[in-house]
A and B are shown apart, each in its own frame.
Chain A
Amino acid sequence: MRMSLAQRVLLTWLFTLLFLIMLVLKLDEKAPWNWFLIFIPVWIFDTILLVMLIVKMAGRCKSGYNHRNGPRHMKRKVWYFIAMLLKLAFCLALCAKLEQFTNMNLSYVFIPLWALLVGAMTELGYNVFFARRD
């Protein structure tokens, strides 16, 4: 079962809105909560995405699935999975830094984000400069 575009947009919109409201409350010192609690909408959203991705990948590995274009699709799914893990690692490191659990530099916190952005730019760059031209 595939979610429609409206459902996916609504899901993204709802969790983004919730996160931004909680972020504003925290930054304006109206809510004395832990940074890990402020990021709850992000954790829930990421969990939903990861579960959806794992279910899709498992579906492709099942016997009886039409494997035409299989390796290319699988590679893309693996990249999405790694991208999600990088995003999760960045958010966790950022929360740990903001809560002062660790004394590491911000540069180290940003390493997963940089890896994610470089990957995203490679994919976008491929689509802009090398993909079909008609």
Chain B
Amino acid sequence: MLFSLRELVQWLGFATFEIFVHVLALLVFSVLLALRVDELAPGLSWWNVFVPFFAADGLSTYFTTIVSVRLFQDGEKRLAVLRLFWILTILSLKFVFEMLLCQKLVEQTRELWFGLIMSPVFILLQLLMIRACRVN
């Protein structure tokens, strides 16, 4: 649409398969969220609703580790380290955001305000902007 798939892969640093996994996680999450909010599945906790995102993060980390090891073995050491560092940064920021949001939904504490919960997303946005300048 606004970006071609090639541009997205170049910009985000994720492989097409990883993007596919994250979109699938979003789809399953939205189904679980609807079930939880509409009270169609009474035993479903907020942690269970967020499981698809955690699973996608885990799969993506595993995939990135494998790709980086292969790149390292092929002699592309700089590329391997850079890729691993970038993806792990992105995934850890995403993971922290999901954990904080889930904790907020479970406990409903006022100490955990939404500005704080969203802070990893704001950092992520700045990093993506910087990377866009480098890629371009």
A contact set with B: CB distance below 8 Å: 4-6, 8-13, 16-17, 20, 23-24, 27-28, 49, 52-53, 80, 83-84, 105-107, 109-110, 113-114, 117-118, 120-121, 124-125, 127-128
Q: Judge whether A84 and B1 touch: CB under 8 Å.
A: yes
Question: Hey, which bits of chain B sit against chain A, CB under 8 A?
Answer: 1-3, 5, 7, 11, 16-17, 19-20, 23-24, 26-27, 30-31, 33-35, 37-38, 40, 113-115, 118, 121-122, 125, 128-129, 132-133, 135-136
- Beyond A5-B7, A49-B1, is A110–B34 a contact (Cβ under 8 Å)? yes
Interface of B: prevailing SS: helix
Q: Is the CB of A117 within 8 A of B133?
A: no
B20 contact set on A, CB distance < 8 A: 121, 124-125, 128
Compute how far the CA of A83 lies from the CA of B17 in the bound complex, rounded to whole angstroms.
21
Within 8 Å CB of A6, what residues of B?
132-133, 136
How far, in angstroms, from A39 to B19 measured CA to CA in the complex?
25
Residues of B with C-beta under 8 A to A52: 2
List of B residues within 8 angstroms of A121 by Cβ = 20, 23-24, 27
- In the A-B complex, the 5 residue pairs with the smallest Cβ-Cβ separation, listed nearest first, are A9-B132, A27-B114, A117-B27, A124-B20, A107-B34
